[in-house]
């Protein structure tokens, strides 16, 4: 029996004066003056605080977890109080009221922390200022940190969560950080045109999805479809919030993003157990829900889900990566580096890195994952080394390297990041890339090759090449295939993985242009009547039965099995701008505008050309709305794409060009005798 381990976190208002509003950015600001982040826009302002978190579950749409679509190294002023009290990440003030037993000064930090953890966390106002300092915490490489919360079933957690109460009087109310010094200009319509009516309507719908906690916006619910049961569509999902967060950053209302980042990193610090098995410290929640007094007959609380409620009980691998990417977008758009440098955020980054950079049995630099661990959250045969996770991993490593401080183990972590980036970029560019010449090479592969001189290194059988691939591959173009593992290549097209590879510069400039060539050449297959296919082609008949387990939601050309997802518009637009082809995004946005508002912003579309609203799609899906908003704003001001794109990544040591008969490795990499 699965022990439901929902974390109940009772937190009163966070102090937003916590973090210094000092703005430092490597990107020059368009506005040389101190411009308020609440500058009026040509698009209507979405009041992020207007919607109460007390939304009743029958007013929101239904969603199951597994149906859901997870540089400035300068110092920060130590006098600025932290936006949210760090959960035992630094030294605890002697003024903190506590019944903790006395601990000898010579005791280790771990022993002191254990003593502190035995009593309720009650934070005084004076302590908050100390937590705003950049993290200079000595840690071992294992990154062991003590936990602030003990997960337990909801019923028991509600009875005992008073121990986690932070007195409201100890928290300041005002927050001005992140409101000035933005490097992003106020969005304005192109050519002096009036704002698009559809964009106005989209902002109205997005503002309705905002979730408040103690009067402060902390995220957006997944959907507001009142026609269906809520299930967990009334929760704030990490991956679903990304386009919504970007929309508010571009609108110069960054506070909701700041709160989201701080609350989720606090949830990360909890001990997570499923069936008496403890998850890794660095795992970020898949989602969280703000529960009001009607739910628990007590004060507002946050309940987190780390995958223990998912249909397949799969932890979200992508949540931590998306969190780091959103942190980078926040920092780049506001110029506020103090948030990234504060102790809780630094600790959160270290925990994520400790989880994914740890040593294991892998012979590849890619991350080994279970099925359903990302946007494709149901059984779809993406187990192994899915391109979506590898691209997000690469991008998160690059973003984390910009903000990690060098003190203590930070320098070692940065060195590990650089080494992993080198190996990962080579592996993906070399073995995941497929174009017509490479397809022909695989078609002629020999099998059962042994030793380091093997050409067919993964022992892929040429007979496993699917028939559709020979018709799908154009003469001009290419893409990163879905998966590469021993004796297996998944040749399906996965949109999100390829587009994130472009944004992060995991794809070279030549590969990026080839991917866009493929999108143009196969427009009807990948875009059709509604952008954009998450996966192509769809599995049918016996293959669908074996791979999905006869999943009725992932039937052919539906949901993730060939369904069309409007949320992917923002990714398409960003990569089009980066590769200098905005006309492709413009064409796709115009297609979407014909149907989205009429169909009430559905989650996904069904059919080979995306003609029909998905059979189980929720209406008023938040990330469909936000994806359109971000795409539209980027088209109006292409400079906005810079907050989510990274510069070209070059390998320090290029691999030599080798002939087919030679090894893939340099001679220095060949096995050497040990005796």
Of 22, 54, 14, 53, nearest to 264 by C-alpha is: 14
What confidence score (pLDDT) does residue 306 get? 92
User: In the chain, pLDDT over 70 holds for what percent of residues?
Assistant: 67
How does residue 359 score in pLDDT terms, banded at 50, 70 and 90? Answer: confident
Mean pLDDT for 338-346 is 96
Whether pTM > 0.75 for this model: the answer is no
Residues 6+ apart with CB under 8 A from 530: 564, 566, 591, 592, 595, 605, 609, 610, 611
Whether 331 is in a domain gets the answer: yes
Say which DSSP state 249 is in: H
Over residues 410-441, the pLDDT tens digits come to 889 999 999 999 999 999 999 999 999 999 99
What confidence score (pLDDT) does residue 168 get? 32
Per the rule left: phi > 0, alpha: psi between -120 and 50, beta: everything else, 641 is: alpha
CA separation, residue 417 to residues 284, 358, 397 (Å): 20, 11, 6
What confidence score (pLDDT) does residue 673 get? 53
Q: Write down the mean pLDDT value for the chain.
A: 77
Going by their DSSP bridges, the two strands 612-613 and 535-536 should be labelled as unpaired
Per the rule left: phi > 0, alpha: psi between -120 and 50, beta: everything else, 575 is: alpha
Say which DSSP state 289 is in: E
Of 149, 148, 145, nearest to 350 by C-alpha is: 145
How does residue 298 score in pLDDT terms, banded at 50, 70 and 90? Answer: low
CB atoms within 10 A of CB 295: 17
Question: What total number of domains does the chain contain?
Answer: 1
Whether 318 is in a domain gets the answer: yes
What confidence score (pLDDT) does residue 300 get? 86
Cα–Cα distance between 479 and 507 in angstroms, integer? 9
Task: With beta carbons less than 8 A apart as the criterion, state whether 371 and 314 touch.
Answer: yes
C-alpha triplet 23, 24, 25: angle, nearest 5°: 120
What confidence score (pLDDT) does residue 430 get? 97
Over residues 534-558, the pLDDT tens digits come to 999 999 999 999 999 999 999 999 9
Residues 6+ apart with CB under 8 A from 181: 21, 23, 25, 29, 34, 35, 334, 335, 336
Over residues 303-314, the pLDDT tens digits come to 999 988 877 788
Whether 591 is in a domain gets the answer: no
Q: Which domain holds residue 85?
A: 1-27+34-93+116-358
What confidence score (pLDDT) does residue 258 get? 98
How does residue 277 score in pLDDT terms, banded at 50, 70 and 90? Answer: confident
Over residues 1-12, the pLDDT tens digits come to 444 444 444 444
Task: With beta carbons less than 8 A apart as the criterion, state whether 227 and 74 touch.
Answer: no
Tell me: pLDDT of 589 over 90. Answer: yes
CB atoms within 10 A of CB 153: 12
CA separation, residue 635 to residues 78, 327, 419, 561, 581 (Å): 40, 23, 36, 29, 11
CA separation, residue 385 to residues 402, 485, 551, 619 (Å): 26, 7, 22, 32
**What SS3 state is found at 660?**
coil
What confidence score (pLDDT) does residue 194 get? 65
What confidence score (pLDDT) does residue 484 get? 97
How does residue 671 score in pLDDT terms, banded at 50, 70 and 90? Answer: low
Q: Is the dihedral of CA 533, 537, 541, 542 positive or negative?
A: negative
Report the 3 state secondary structure along 596-648: CCCCCCCCCEECCCCCEECCCCCCCEHHHHHHHHHHHHHHHCHHHHHHCCCCC
Over residues 648-658, the pLDDT tens digits come to 998 755 554 44
Cα–Cα distance between 639 and 582 in angstroms, integer? 12
Whether 672 is in a domain gets the answer: no
Residues 6+ apart with CB under 8 A from 523: none
What is the full DSSP assignment across 27-72? Answer: SPPS--S---TT---SSPP--TTSS-TT--GGGS--B-GGG-----
Whether 596 is in a domain gets the answer: no
Q: Crossing angle, helix 343-356 and helix 387-403, to 10 degrees?
A: 140
Over residues 501-543, the pLDDT tens digits come to 999 999 999 999 999 999 999 999 999 999 999 999 999 999 9
What confidence score (pLDDT) does residue 672 get? 52
Whether 81 is in a domain gets the answer: yes
Over residues 47-92, the pLDDT tens digits come to 444 444 444 444 344 444 444 444 444 433 333 333 443 444 343 3
Whether 349 is in a domain gets the answer: yes
Mean pLDDT for 259-273 is 92
Residues 6+ apart with CB under 8 A from 642: 27, 332
346 half-sphere exposure, CB direction, 13 A CA radius: 32
User: In the chain, pLDDT over 90 holds for what percent of residues?
Assistant: 58
Over residues 203-226, the pLDDT tens digits come to 999 999 999 999 999 999 999 988
What confidence score (pLDDT) does residue 652 get? 59
Say which DSSP state 479 is in: E
Residues 6+ apart with CB under 8 A from 85: 14, 15, 121, 123, 127, 128, 131, 166
Cα–Cα distance between 333 and 325 in angstroms, integer? 12
Omega within 30 of 0 (cis) for the link into 532: yes
Of 130-144, 378-392, 420-434, the range with the lowest mean pLDDT is 130-144
Burial class (CB in 10 A: 0-12, 13-18, 19+), 672: exposed
What confidence score (pLDDT) does residue 334 get? 97
Cα–Cα distance between 375 and 394 in angstroms, integer? 17
CB atoms within 10 A of CB 293: 11
Query: What are 32-37's contacts with CB under 8 Å, separation 24+?
Result: 34/180, 34/181, 35/180, 35/181, 35/182, 36/179, 36/180, 37/178, 37/179, 37/180, 37/182, 37/252, 37/253, 37/254, 37/334
What confidence score (pLDDT) does residue 269 get? 85
What b/e string do you get for 395-407 counting C-beta neighbours within 10 Å, with b at 16 or more? bbbbbbbbbbbee
Tell me: pLDDT of 295 over 50. Answer: yes
What confidence score (pLDDT) does residue 47 get? 44
Residue 287 main-chain phi, psi, to 5 deg: -160, 170
Mean pLDDT for 153-175 is 32
Omega within 30 of 0 (cis) for the link into 537: yes
Whether 345 is in a domain gets the answer: yes
Residues 6+ apart with CB under 8 A from 421: 394, 397, 398, 401, 649
To the nearest 5 percent, what fractions of the chain are helix, strand and coil? 40, 10, 50
Tell me: pLDDT of 644 over 90. Answer: yes
Mean pLDDT for 622-640 is 98
Residues 6+ apart with CB under 8 A from 628: 198, 199, 202, 566, 569, 570, 589, 592, 593, 596
Say which DSSP state 265 is in: H
Bridge partners, residue 219, by sequence: 211
Residues 6+ apart with CB under 8 A from 295: none
Per the rule left: phi > 0, alpha: psi between -120 and 50, beta: everything else, 143 is: left
First to last CA, the chain: 52
What confidence score (pLDDT) does residue 26 get? 45
**Helical segments of 181-313, H only:** 197-208, 238-250, 255-268, 293-296
Tell me: pLDDT of 177 over 80. Answer: no
């Amino acid at each position: 029996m699965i022990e439901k381990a929902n974390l109940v976190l009772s937190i009163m208002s966070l102090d937003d004066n916590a973090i210094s509003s000092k703005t430092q950015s490597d990107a020059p600001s368009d506005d040389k003056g101190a411009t308020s982040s609440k500058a009026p826009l040509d698009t209507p302002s979405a009041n992020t605080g207007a919607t109460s978190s007390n939304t009743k579950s029958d007013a929101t749409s239904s969603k199951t977890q597994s149906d859901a679509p997870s540089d400035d190294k300068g110092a920060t002023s130590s006098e600025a109080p932290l936006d949210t009290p760090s959960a035992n990440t630094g030294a605890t003030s002697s003024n903190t009221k506590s019944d903790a037993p006395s601990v000898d000064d010579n005791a280790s930090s771990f022993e002191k922390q254990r003593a502190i953890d035995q009593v309720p966390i009650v934070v005084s106002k004076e302590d908050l200022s100390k937590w705003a300092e950049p993290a200079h915490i000595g840690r071992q490489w294992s990154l062991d940190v003590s936990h602030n919360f003990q997960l337990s079933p909801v019923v028991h957690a509600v009875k005992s969560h008073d121990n986690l109460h932070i007195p409201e009087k100890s928290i300041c109310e005002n927050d001005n950080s992140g409101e000035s010094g933005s490097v992003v200009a106020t969005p304005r319509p192109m050519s002096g045109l009036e704002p698009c009516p559809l964009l106005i309507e989209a902002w109205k719908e997005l503002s309705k999805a905002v979730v408040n906690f103690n009067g402060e916006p902390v995220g957006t619910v997944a959907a507001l479809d009142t026609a269906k049961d809520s299930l967990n569509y009334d929760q704030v999902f990490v991956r679903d919030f990304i386009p919504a967060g970007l929309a508010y950053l571009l609108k110069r209302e960054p506070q909701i993003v700041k709160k989201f980042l701080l609350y989720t990193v606090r949830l990360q610090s909890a001990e997570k157990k499923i069936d008496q098995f403890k998850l890794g410290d660095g795992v970020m929640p898949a989602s969280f829900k703000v529960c009001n007094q009607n739910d628990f007959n007590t004060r507002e609380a946050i309940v987190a889900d780390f995958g223990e409620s998912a249909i397949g009980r799969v932890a979200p691998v992508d949540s931590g990566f998306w969190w780091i990417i959103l942190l980078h977008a926040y920092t780049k758009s506001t110029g506020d580096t103090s948030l990234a440098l504060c102790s809780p955020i630094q600790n959160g980054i270290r925990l994520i890195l400790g989880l994914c950079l740890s040593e294991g049995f892998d012979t590849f630099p890619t991350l080994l994952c279970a099925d359903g661990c990302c946007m494709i959250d149901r059984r779809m045969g993406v187990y192994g080394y899915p391109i979506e996770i590898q691209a997000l991993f690469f991008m998160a490593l690059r973003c984390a390297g910009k903000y990690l401080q060098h003190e203590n183990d930070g320098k070692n972590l940065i060195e590990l990041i650089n080494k992993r980036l080198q190996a990962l970029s080579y592996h993906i560019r070399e073995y995941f890339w497929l174009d017509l010449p490479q397809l022909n090479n695989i078609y002629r592969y020999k099998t059962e090759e042994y030793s380091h001189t093997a050409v067919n290194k993964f022992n892929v059988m040429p007979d496993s090449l699917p028939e559709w691939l020979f018709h799908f591959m154009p003469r001009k173009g290419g893409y990163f295939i879905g998966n590469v593992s021993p004796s297996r290549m998944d040749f399906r097209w996965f949109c999100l993985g390829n587009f994130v590879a472009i944004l992060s510069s995991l794809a070279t400039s030549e590969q990026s242009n080839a991917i866009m060539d493929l999108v143009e050449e196969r427009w009807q297959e990948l875009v059709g009547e509604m952008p954009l296919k998450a996966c192509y082609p769809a599995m049918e008949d016996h293959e669908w039965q074996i791979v999905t387990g006869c999943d009725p939601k992932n039937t052919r050309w539906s949901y993730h099995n060939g369904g069309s997802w409007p949320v992917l518009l923002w990714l398409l637009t960003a990569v089009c701008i980066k590769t200098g082809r905005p006309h492709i995004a413009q064409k796709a946005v115009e297609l979407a505008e014909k149907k989205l508002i009429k169909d009430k912003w559905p989650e996904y579309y069904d059919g080979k050309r995306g003609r029909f609203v998905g059979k189980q799609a929720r209406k008023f899906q938040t990330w469909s709305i936000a994806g359109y908003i971000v795409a539209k704003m980027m088209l109006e001001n292409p400079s906005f794409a810079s907050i989510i794109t990274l510069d070209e990544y070059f390998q320090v040591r290029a691999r030599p060009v080798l002939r087919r008969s030679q090894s893939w490795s340099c001679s220095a990499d060949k096995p050497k005798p040990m005796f």
